[in-house]
Amino acid sequence: MAQMLQIITAAVLVALCVCLVPLLLQLKRTAVALERLADSAREDLGGIARDVHEVRRRLDGLADLAAAGMALPVSLGESLARLFQCLPDALERRTSGWLGLVIAGLKLVLGAFLRPKEPTHE
């Protein structure tokens, strides 16, 4: 009986070694492949981070350009509003002749554009 137990134990150890050695070799290959994948992902993520930073920088530039483009219509609108505020005063005055009308028109335009801006409440 002891001899049979030794034979069974030896067979189990051989079978275990036959299965365990390829498993350990495959585990080593998997670890190396995983390390290569991590290095590749690190390089790719660095490129993606640079691309995202570049897109954000371009969007900031585009927002600045849009703000600058909106400045002219806003100032033009404010100037027209001031012009229309001065219009009733100019219409109430009676002027005689075409020279008086030109002078009144110049006063109206200059008064609208040179009038100090009222502070805005934002």
pLDDT tens digits, residue range 37-47? 999 888 888 88
**Residue 105 corresponds to which tokens in the numbers above?**
């028109």
Do residues 93 and 111 touch, judged by C-beta distance below 8 A?
no
**Assigned token pair, 22:** 């390829």
Instruction: Summarize the confidence of residues 74-91 as an average pLDDT.
Output: 66
More confidently predicted of 114 and 118? 114
Planar angle of CA 18, 19, 25, nearest 5 degrees: 95
CB 84 within 8 A of CB 55: no
Q: Provide the pLDDT for residue 50.
A: 92
Helix axes 97-114, 2-92, angle to 10 degrees: 150
Please tell me the number of Cα atoms within 13 Å of 121 on its side-chain side: 0
Average pLDDT in the chain: 79
Please state the rounded mean pLDDT for residues 102-119.
66
Q: What is the reported pLDDT for 90?
A: 56
Residue 34 has pLDDT above 90, yes or no: yes
pLDDT at residue 36 tops 80: yes
